[in-house]
Amino acid sequence: MKAACNFGQRRFVFLSDSFYPREPAPIMVRQVRSQEEFHRALAIRLRVFVREQGVPRSIELDDDDQAAIHFLAKAGGRTVGTARLVMRNGQAKIGRMAVLKSYRGRGIGRELLKHAVRTARRRGAEKIFLHAQLPVVGFYAGMGFRQVGRVFCEAGIPHRKMILARYSEFRNSESPRMRST
């Protein structure tokens, strides 16, 4: 007899009366290096923001895409997440963070955010900020970002501006499952 169950991030395969846990696939985050990778990032954003959340395509794809630094996250060899970093006047804006629905809750967003923050610091950012959708404000707060200002609407979705004023506040512990290339 063989059956499979998911409990949190672990997958168990039951054979008779014994079971063997399978470790989650390692998460690899890297900067986009080709047009093909850039199109994969856009495909994830379109799926998450346009199809799932109803953001108009004309808002989702903007002029910042050409100058931004884009990142891709892979799990088990599959491209499952993306983020972008826009550098301007010593400030870095992290945005367009998106993870495919079936891969959420596995630490992929955390690893994308860590990679984006490290890249911003290496490129000399004095201030790092983002616009968080209200349901994920807690995620960013848990990573050391703090809320500033009032709630505002962006693409028809309530957001909150959040800043990482000091790099030391950032939760930058390396995950044993994460590899950066």
Q: What is the largest CA-CA distance in the chain?
A: 62
pTM above 0.85, yes or no: no
Residue 168: what pLDDT? 55
CA 130-164-129 angle, to 5 degrees, is: 20
Residue 178: what pLDDT? 42
Q: Dig out the tokens for 9 from the structure.
A: 């991030």
Helix (H) or strand (E) holding 110, with range, is helix 108-122
N-term to C-term CA, the chain? 41
pLDDT, averaged per 10 consecutive residues of the chain (181 residues), comes to: 46 44 78 97 97 94 95 95 97 97 95 96 95 96 94 95 74 46 44
Rounded-to-integer distance, Cα 74 and Cα 179, Å? 10
Strands of the sheet with 27-31, listed across from one edge: 146-154, 157-164, 127-133, 91-99, 78-88, 69-75, 27-31, 178-180
Class of domain 25-180: alpha beta
Residue 175: what pLDDT? 43
Assess contact for 116 and 73: CB atoms under 8 A.
no
Assess contact for 120 and 85: CB atoms under 8 A.
yes
Residue in the block written with tokens 């972008």? 84
DSSP symbols for 29-64: EEE--SHHHHHHHHHHHIIIIIIIT---HHHHS-TH
Residue 137: what pLDDT? 96
Residue 141 forms beta bridges with which residues? Answer: none
Helix (H) or strand (E) holding 115, with range, is helix 108-122
DSSP state, 111?
H
Residue 23: what pLDDT? 61
